[in-house]
Amino acid sequence: MMTPQSALDIKKNSLPFLDKKGEFPVLTPTNGPEMLDIGDLHKSTGVCTLDIGLMNTGICKSAITYVNGDEGILRYRGYSIDDLVDNCDYLDVAWLLLNGELPTPSQKAEFQYNITYHSMVNEQMAYFLRGFRRDAHPMAVMCGMTGALSAFYHDELDIFNAEHRKIVAHRLIAKMPTIAAMAYKYSIGQPLVYPRNDLDFVSNFMQMLFAVPCEPFKLNPAGVRAFSAVMIVQADHEQNASTFTVRSVGSSRANPYACVAAGIASLWGPLHGGANEGVLHTLNEIGSIENIPAIIKRAKDKNDPYRLMGFGHRVYKTYDPRAKVLQRYCYEVLEAYGKKDDPLFKMALELERIALNDEFFIERKLYPNVDFYSGLILKTIGIPLSMFTAQFAVARTAGWISHWNEMITDPAVKIVRPRQLYVGSDLRPFVPPAERTEHKPLIG
């Protein structure tokens, strides 16, 4: 059987398209690298491209979010992430992602009203929830319940009707905190907490997570501010794995609830939305400040596979702009919750001090990233580790549905159908059962 490497070796010097004079337009974006439009590449030259992970391939035109990892830039609709965190709440940002501009006071009031009065879910969903095991991971519950929304809200699902798309967007943004809180409360055996119409979006999410019927719920203003900052920086991040998943599923014209459920499944992966969980796991593994030097030594050893979670980023080759924003909210919330002297947080702050001052980390630009600070903030305000990724899904819903809407309204969109570099066997004769030889199964 031909191996992938041998398949590449056979053809590596055969590039017939170099001998042809095909012309491919160069597209110039508002920001970022120019792109070669290779839509007619196979038609013109007879060859295709291989780009594993799509690291060099654009899959759409988008006007929503711009990321420049080399310069540490993140902008939503042209607005810098730090300006948005300091001057907006989550619903301002959700409106911006959906509509392209920040809302006027009247638009914000109407949007707030619509989200508030869509936040309850059909009461039958509580019975659906009880079909899950108590120890089910909240992300498993969220995948199932989000996908099931299309069964409970099957009206207004004409994806080519602008009013229907708006209603679906409002429903998803409004109901995701309720679903996430339901999953959490169910897992710990507490009564489900209904949304409150007198609270803002983030405060309402917190009360659904933490309130109990036997006493009044009190919000900590610093906790609300920090949680709001986390939610805003998580709202979108260009064409990441989960956003691409939403667009890919949506390209088949699947309903938007199914598309977002698929996005949740993608976000669940430890290389994506689970990264801030990894930060807390790392801190728990270190155990105490006394163990930090040994861990730093391991992190610096190129022959040791150990990686210090929460430092450096695949995209950002300088200080993660989201981390810069969250750093000050992290300090504020630690102070407000009286956690600065907690051993876990003291250890985290010592790690931060080392990373910001150690030449090894500075030269390699291994600065504390967004997951480092968001993990500390979520831990401080009481979000359990199992809910970290579920909370992320709530925040990212505004970005997902904005990209889905942009894709559906793009006349150039096509169903996603990637090519592959086939490296399997060529045509071979059928072998009767009695003549077959034992072989090692690909799946044991």
Residue 53 forms part of a structural domain: yes
Average pLDDT over all residues of the chain? 90
Q: Report which of 226, 131, 219 is spatially closest to residue 182, judged by C-alpha positions.
A: 131
Buried b / exposed e along 110-140 (16+ C-beta atoms within 10 A): ebbebbbebbebeeebeebbeebeeeebbbb
> Over the stretch 396-444, which tens digit does the pLDDT of each residue have?
999 999 999 999 999 999 999 999 999 999 999 999 999 999 989 988 6
Q: Higher-confidence residue: 4 or 443?
A: 443
Model pLDDT, residue 4: 43
In the chain, what percentage of residues exceed pLDDT 90? 66
Q: Per-residue pLDDT averaged across 3-9, rounded?
A: 43
Q: Is the pLDDT of residue 60 over 50?
A: yes
Model pLDDT, residue 63: 97
Q: Higher-confidence residue: 354 or 435?
A: 435
Q: Per-residue pLDDT averaged across 367-387, rounded?
A: 92
Q: Is the pLDDT of residue 364 over 90?
A: no
> Over the stretch 265-308, which tens digit does the pLDDT of each residue have?
999 988 888 777 888 888 888 888 999 999 899 989 989 888 88
Q: Which residues, 6+ apart, have CB-to-CB distance to 343 below 8 Å? A: 288, 289
CATH code, domain carrying 37: 2.20.28.60
The residue range of the domain holding 50 is: 12-58
Model pLDDT, residue 374: 93
Element (H or E) spanning 35, and its range? strand 35-36
Model pLDDT, residue 409: 95
Q: Which residues, 6+ apart, have CB-to-CB distance to 209 below 8 Å? A: 180, 181, 184, 185, 193, 382, 383, 387
Model pLDDT, residue 55: 86
The answer to whether 115 touches 170, Cβ cutoff 8 Å, is: yes
> Over the stretch 211-261, which tens digit does the pLDDT of each residue have?
999 999 999 999 999 999 999 999 999 999 999 999 999 999 999 999 999
Residue 25 forms part of a structural domain: yes
Q: Is the pLDDT of residue 20 over 70?
A: no
Residue 133 forms part of a structural domain: no
Residue 251 forms part of a structural domain: no
Task: With cut-offs at 50, 70 and 90, classify the pLDDT of residue 5.
Answer: very low
Model pLDDT, residue 444: 67
Residue 50 forms part of a structural domain: yes
Model pLDDT, residue 180: 97
- Which tokens sit at 14? 């055969």
Q: Per-residue pLDDT averaged across 133-148, rounded?
A: 94
Model pLDDT, residue 12: 46
Residues marked as catalytic: 313, 371
* DSSP for residue 323: H
Residue 163 forms part of a structural domain: no
Residue 114 forms part of a structural domain: no
Residue 294 forms part of a structural domain: no
Q: Is the pLDDT of residue 331 over 80?
A: yes
Q: Higher-confidence residue: 239 or 310?
A: 239
Q: Per-residue pLDDT averaged across 171-178, rounded?
A: 98
The answer to whether 8 touches 427, Cβ cutoff 8 Å, is: no
Domain count, the chain: 1
Model pLDDT, residue 22: 60
